[in-house]
Amino acid sequence: MAIKLNRLNRKDYYQAIYKSIQDNRRDDFRDLFLKLHEKDQVAVFHKLYPEKKNKIVDLLQASEFAELFEHLDYKGRRQAIEDLPADYMTEVFTYVADDEVTAFIHELPQADRQHVLESMRPSDRETIETILEHDFETAGAIMTTEVLTVYAQDSADQVITGIRQAASAVETIYYVYVVDEARHLLGVLSLRELLRAPGDCPVQDIMNSQLVQADIGMDQEEVARIIKEYDLLALPVVDGQGKLVGIVTVDDVMDVMDIETTEDFHRFAGISGSPDNESDRESIFETVKNRLPWIIILIFLGLVSANLINMFEATLSRVVILAVFMPIIMDSAGNVGTQSLAVSVRRLTLGDNTESFWVLVWKELISGIIIGLAAGITICGVAYFLFGNPVLSFIIGISLAATLSVSTVIGYLVPTLFSKIHIDPAVASGPFITTITDATGLLIYFSLATYLMHLL
Amino acid sequence: MAIKLNRLNRKDYYQAIYKSIQDNRRDDFRDLFLKLHEKDQVAVFHKLYPEKKNKIVDLLQASEFAELFEHLDYKGRRQAIEDLPADYMTEVFTYVADDEVTAFIHELPQADRQHVLESMRPSDRETIETILEHDFETAGAIMTTEVLTVYAQDSADQVITGIRQAASAVETIYYVYVVDEARHLLGVLSLRELLRAPGDCPVQDIMNSQLVQADIGMDQEEVARIIKEYDLLALPVVDGQGKLVGIVTVDDVMDVMDIETTEDFHRFAGISGSPDNESDRESIFETVKNRLPWIIILIFLGLVSANLINMFEATLSRVVILAVFMPIIMDSAGNVGTQSLAVSVRRLTLGDNTESFWVLVWKELISGIIIGLAAGITICGVAYFLFGNPVLSFIIGISLAATLSVSTVIGYLVPTLFSKIHIDPAVASGPFITTITDATGLLIYFSLATYLMHLL
């Protein structure tokens, strides 16, 4: 009967592991520890005191610790390098997947990179240095070079035997890539298809030659999109000559998706700079560096609104009460602008093209008019209730209705227009749109008020 | 030599397929068509005229069309049901993965659901109806019930033989689940481990009994998180008795991640309602329904700011020029609030707990003060340049500095506080925060102006 790991006995289970280390019962430790998923192994490892961590060297083979290492975060990895003997770590690095090693080195301060690279075997170092040459956030930078390749003439049985031997050295055994002598990618074969085929069947008869592949310089977001759309577990990466250089696996792509989402979120809120992996907490300096420029730019953009009010100073000084409703006009305009902006940016990110652009703009306009009318009637009623001035209430109501109708369309149009003229639509952040819609709202409001001034 | 599919010859390749349909060359069609990835098969299928689509029945077996069907979007699926003969579709449904069928039925208008269910074989219908009973967006609702199960005593070779036979009927062959006679989940075994093990080894000796699993009612976002953190290709789903009822696969989870991200994005911008799958474009009515309530609520919240200005009417009527800088104070406050809100909400979503809450608040405060000082000095200079009034410039500068410092912390604190008292932090949307920071900014600005009025 198998031990079932649930909330109740997880603590006891971990306790048994710690006890086995204390008592130097190596076999018991390995029995208990290796049954855990690497993520849980990490949890156990983290709780060991530094002097106990050193014992890991005797308890785990380098290949076993390599799997745990892959699940450590940046801090944990740095710690491991400091705590464990250098020759043990050198061996560990030969087993850690390339993409994990490169990701780790990417995050290291420049000064420490050389040090870690020098601690690796020359052959490992060479591979990593090649990957490090690729542009940040491209297929080449997130791929692993540990791939199963076979020749077109190999039989299904030969390949299966090969897989059985290589199973621990490669990142995924679920796809096998068919190449010629020069490593040109000819086809791909899933383990599923392989198992279904007769044993003596040459792989060229069962392989899929309609390749879905990534160029080495392809943006990681595009890589993620392909893997998602084709429901792949891994995507082969080729160089300019169509030679197989590596694969990107689905688990890496999920991390990419998280990072890209955070990036989109931050841009949407007007924060520049790309967020790092979970590790490397942002310093106050970086926070300021990523946020301040936008705030300053937007202050200068905000001078447009300031200038508008200054133009209407005569109106305002005669009817100071007009200022009371400025926040509501501005906020509401910004709010509907942000709403349609979010819809628009997200649609562009997902590459959703099922409806024509102008149909969508038309829909936004109609929605904006309806929302504007509802909000206008509301504020008209509230204003009348508060100040009992029908003309003022009317001005505010009409202004709000018109402002919201226009702002909805602005929020929708701007990112699309940006993307049409090849500016990243995410530049059209919420704060940016708000600044535009504010000016629009104030212009409508004060123009109408000035025009109807004689009635006030 | 294999045909390589790239941009250049894809068109020719598709042309060859259309030609083979026209000439009724079934074997040629199958040869060309089945080599394509299902996603590309869909592209070809979409371009067929309705009368040609009907030919598919003769050209493809139901099991082959089922794979294509899984890659169709909602519209394409509805179309297929209308265009193709009912008995062909009945057979197709027995091959389509459960989770895809349920997702499709979920999106159908209530009236059509029964009709589609009735077109299915009774045994298929029963399975689907069971899945449909689970709550929307839970593990139970997105799982598939087609799973490979084996007994603990089976040998590795027996299991591999079983996999070879079942390969086309199940969603993934890369994990095998070990159960007892009552289907209690005992362990999991990856195909990788299976292939590495000696052929006569009973699976209980190699299986992983430290189970990572999902309860049937677990939220789909949590399911996605587990799959991502443990780098799994599939996660087993169990009922209240620990019996295996299905699995959720990584490709479904990637779709879930997209939908959840869109949901977060919309909420962040103050849009309620959950976005549907790619299909089913939102109607104008739904757009208004999802956006208007927030706008109206925020108008009433905005009355706080309106009221504040009203309170300071005496100050404002004496120095109307103060109104000129209201937009900049309000916008900047909203902008820094939105920035730290985005960071905070995203951190909560990712469940990132590496730094203590108060350390993070402290960091935000310091960042806010620095950003505030920089922005304050800037606007002070600009105001002096524009109006040449040192006291006014000073008031604006100090107000902006103070407002931004406070707003940064507000944007960061509110979602965290919400989540501590178990309110969804996403309720703290950008528009909501903006409304709060506006009031704060205006209060500081006019208080200071009133206090220093005698100097103006």
Q: How far is CA B40 from CA B19, B36, B453, in A?
A: 17, 6, 71
With contacts defined as CB-CB under 8 Å, which chain A residues touch B254?
227-228, 250, 253-254, 257
**Average pLDDT rounded to a whole number, residues B60-66:** 89
Q: State both tokens at A346.
A: 């997200």
The answer to whether residues A249 and A233 touch, using CB atoms and an 8 Å cutoff, is: yes
Residue of A nearest to B249 (CA): A231
Confidence of residue B437 (pLDDT cuts 50, 70, 90): very high
Q: How far apart are CA B58 and CA B70, in angstroms?
A: 19
B149-150/B175-179 β-pairing = parallel
Mutate to test the interface with B, among A42, A148, A171, A195 (most CBs of B within 10 A): A195
Among the partner-chain residues B2, B195, B230, the one whose CB lies closest to the CB of A37 is B230
Q: How far apart are CA A234 and CA A309, in angstroms?
A: 58
- The confidence score (pLDDT) of residue A325 equals 93
Q: How far apart are CA B220 and CA B142, in angstroms?
A: 8
Nearest to B441 by CA among B399, B398, B395, B392: B399
The answer to whether residue A83 scores a pLDDT higher than 90 is no
Sign of CA dihedral A277, A278, A283, A289: positive
With contacts defined as CB-CB under 8 Å, which chain A residues touch B378?
296, 299
- The confidence score (pLDDT) of residue A276 equals 52
Q: How far is CA B303 from CA A20, A436, B344, B400, in A?
A: 66, 22, 27, 22
With contacts defined as CB-CB under 8 Å, which chain B residues touch A365?
none
Among the partner-chain residues B37, B306, B367, the one whose CB lies closest to the CB of A284 is B367
- The confidence score (pLDDT) of residue A237 equals 94
The answer to whether residue A279 scores a pLDDT higher than 50 is no
The answer to whether residues A155 and A199 touch, using CB atoms and an 8 Å cutoff, is: yes
Q: How far is B149 from chain A (nearest CA, A)?
A: 16
Nearest to B128 by CA among B114, B109, B149: B114
Opening angle at CA B213, ends B125 and B68, nearest 5? 40
Q: Could you tell me what percent of chain B has a pLDDT over 90?
A: 25
Q: How far apart are CA B184 and CA A235, in angstroms?
A: 35
Instruction: Give, to the nearest 10 degrees, the angle between helix A326-350 and helix A250-268.
Output: 160
Distance from the first to the final alpha carbon of chain A: 86
With contacts defined as CB-CB under 8 Å, which chain A residues touch B242?
4
- The confidence score (pLDDT) of residue B343 equals 85
The larger pLDDT score, comparing residue A454 to residue B167, is at A454
Q: Do B370 and A187 make contact, defined as CB atoms within 8 angstroms?
A: no
With contacts defined as CB-CB under 8 Å, which chain A residues touch B291?
336, 339, 367, 371
3-state secondary structure of B83: helix
With contacts defined as CB-CB under 8 Å, which chain B residues touch A229?
39
Q: Could you tell me what percent of chain B has a pLDDT over 70?
A: 94
With contacts defined as CB-CB under 8 Å, which chain A residues touch B266?
339, 342-343, 346
**Average pLDDT rounded to a whole number, residues B174-202:** 89
The answer to whether residues A439 and A308 touch, using CB atoms and an 8 Å cutoff, is: yes
* Single-letter amino acid code for the residue at B378: T
Among the partner-chain residues A186, A264, A299, the one whose CB lies closest to the CB of B378 is A299
The larger pLDDT score, comparing residue A168 to residue B4, is at A168
- The confidence score (pLDDT) of residue B13 equals 83
Q: What is the mean pLDDT of chain B?
A: 85
Q: Do B298 and A335 make contact, defined as CB atoms within 8 angstroms?
A: yes
With contacts defined as CB-CB under 8 Å, which chain A residues touch B35?
208-210
Q: Which residues pair with A214 in a beta bridge?
A: A237
Q: What is the mean pLDDT of chain A?
A: 85
3-state secondary structure of B370: helix
Sign of CA dihedral B444, B449, B450, B451: positive
**Average pLDDT rounded to a whole number, residues A157-173:** 81
Residue of B nearest to A369 (CA): B288
- DSSP designation for A144: B
- The confidence score (pLDDT) of residue A199 equals 83
Nearest to B373 by CA among A432, A270, A295, A307: A295
User: Which domains are seen in chain A, by residue range?
Assistant: 9-133 (1.25.60.10), 149-269 (3.10.580.10), 284-455 (1.10.357.20)
Q: Do A370 and B291 make contact, defined as CB atoms within 8 angstroms?
A: no
Indicate the burial class of A6 (C-beta count within 10 angstroms; 0-12, 13-18, 19 or more).
exposed
Residue A249 has φ and ψ, to the nearest 5°, of -100, 160
With contacts defined as CB-CB under 8 Å, which chain A residues touch B334?
334, 431, 434
- DSSP designation for A120: S
**Average pLDDT rounded to a whole number, residues A225-252:** 90
Among the partner-chain residues B40, B295, B317, the one whose CB lies closest to the CB of A320 is B317
Q: How far apart are CA B328 and CA B323, in angstroms?
A: 10
Question: CB B207: neighbour CB atoms within 10 A?
Answer: 24
Among the partner-chain residues B310, B324, B341, the one whose CB lies closest to the CB of A324 is B310
pTM: 0.76
Q: Which of B27-41, B73-87, B322-336 holds the top average pLDDT?
A: B322-336
Q: Do A167 and B310 make contact, defined as CB atoms within 8 angstroms?
A: no
The answer to whether residues A245 and A267 touch, using CB atoms and an 8 Å cutoff, is: no
3-state secondary structure of B177: strand
pLDDT (tens digit per residue) in A384-402 = 999 899 999 999 999 999 9
Q: How far is B136 from chain A (nearest CA, A)?
A: 22
- The confidence score (pLDDT) of residue B402 equals 96
The answer to whether residue A190 scores a pLDDT higher than 50 is yes
- The confidence score (pLDDT) of residue B324 equals 92
3-state secondary structure of B121: coil
DSSP code per residue over B253-305: HHHHHHHHHHHHHHHHTT--S----SSSPPPHHHHHHHHHHHHHHHHHHHHHH
Confidence of residue B273 (pLDDT cuts 50, 70, 90): low
The answer to whether residue A409 scores a pLDDT higher than 90 is yes
3-state secondary structure of A393: helix
**Average pLDDT rounded to a whole number, residues B14-41:** 86
- Indicate the range of A120-124, A188-192, A350-354, B251-255 predicted with least confidence: A350-354
Helix (H) or strand (E) holding A234: strand A234-238
Q: Do A302 and B332 make contact, defined as CB atoms within 8 angstroms?
A: yes
Confidence of residue A353 (pLDDT cuts 50, 70, 90): low
Instruction: Give, to the nearest 10 degrees, the angle between helix B7-22 and helix B26-33.
Output: 150
pLDDT (tens digit per residue) in A28-52 = 888 888 888 888 888 888 888 777 7
Q: How far apart are CA B72 and CA B80, in angstroms?
A: 9
The answer to whether residues A425 and A415 touch, using CB atoms and an 8 Å cutoff, is: yes
Instruction: Give, to the nearest 10 degrees, the angle between helix A357-387 and helix B284-311.
Output: 40
Q: Do A338 and B442 make contact, defined as CB atoms within 8 angstroms?
A: no
Residue of A nearest to B227 (CA): A251
- The confidence score (pLDDT) of residue A281 equals 60
Indicate the burial class of A237 (C-beta count within 10 angstroms; 0-12, 13-18, 19 or more).
buried
The answer to whether residue B110 scores a pLDDT higher than 60 is yes
Mutate to test the interface with A, among B295, B347, B445 (most CBs of A within 10 A): B295
Mutate to test the interface with A, among B77, B99, B210, B317 (most CBs of A within 10 A): B210
DSSP code per residue over B136-171: TTBHHHH-B----EE-TT-BHHHHHHHHHHHTTTSS
Q: How far apart are CA A182 and CA A176, in angstroms?
A: 17
The answer to whether residue B455 scores a pLDDT higher than 90 is no
- The confidence score (pLDDT) of residue B4 equals 44
Q: Do A208 and B35 make contact, defined as CB atoms within 8 angstroms?
A: yes
**Average pLDDT rounded to a whole number, residues B104-127:** 86
Q: How far apart are CA B368 and CA B403, in angstroms?
A: 9
Among the partner-chain residues A167, A178, A338, the one whose CB lies closest to the CB of B431 is A338
Instruction: Give, to the nearest 10 degrees, the angle between helix A284-311 and helix A430-451.
Output: 10
- DSSP designation for A332: H
Q: How far is A155 from chain B (nearest CA, A)?
A: 16
With contacts defined as CB-CB under 8 Å, which chain A residues touch B328?
299, 302-303, 305-306
The answer to whether residues B299 and A332 touch, using CB atoms and an 8 Å cutoff, is: yes
Q: State both tokens at B50.
A: 């309705």
Mutate to test the interface with A, among B31, B215, B254 (most CBs of A within 10 A): B254
Residue B222 has φ and ψ, to the nearest 5°, of -65, -40
The answer to whether residues B140 and B131 touch, using CB atoms and an 8 Å cutoff, is: yes
CA dihedral A349, A353, A354, A357 (to 10 degrees): 110
- The confidence score (pLDDT) of residue B399 equals 95
Q: How far apart are CA B344 and CA B346, in angstroms?
A: 5
The answer to whether residue A7 scores a pLDDT higher than 50 is no
Q: Do B316 and A323 make contact, defined as CB atoms within 8 angstroms?
A: yes
Q: Do B299 and A35 make contact, defined as CB atoms within 8 angstroms?
A: no
- The confidence score (pLDDT) of residue B16 equals 87
Nearest to B270 by CA among B436, B430, B435: B430
The answer to whether residue B8 scores a pLDDT higher than 80 is no
3-state secondary structure of B207: coil
With contacts defined as CB-CB under 8 Å, which chain A residues touch B255?
228
Question: CB B14: neighbour CB atoms within 10 A?
Answer: 18
Q: How far apart are CA B45 and CA B56, in angstroms?
A: 9
Nearest to A150 by CA among A162, A133, A165: A162
| Strand order across the beta sheet in which A175-179 lies | A149-150, A175-179, A185-190
- The confidence score (pLDDT) of residue A378 equals 95
With contacts defined as CB-CB under 8 Å, which chain A residues touch B307?
324
DSSP code per residue over A48-103: S-HHHHTTHHHHS-HHHHHHHHHHS-HHHHHHHHHHS-HHHHHHHHHHS-HHHHHH
Distance from the first to the final alpha carbon of chain B: 86
Among the partner-chain residues A210, A287, A371, the one whose CB lies closest to the CB of B40 is A210
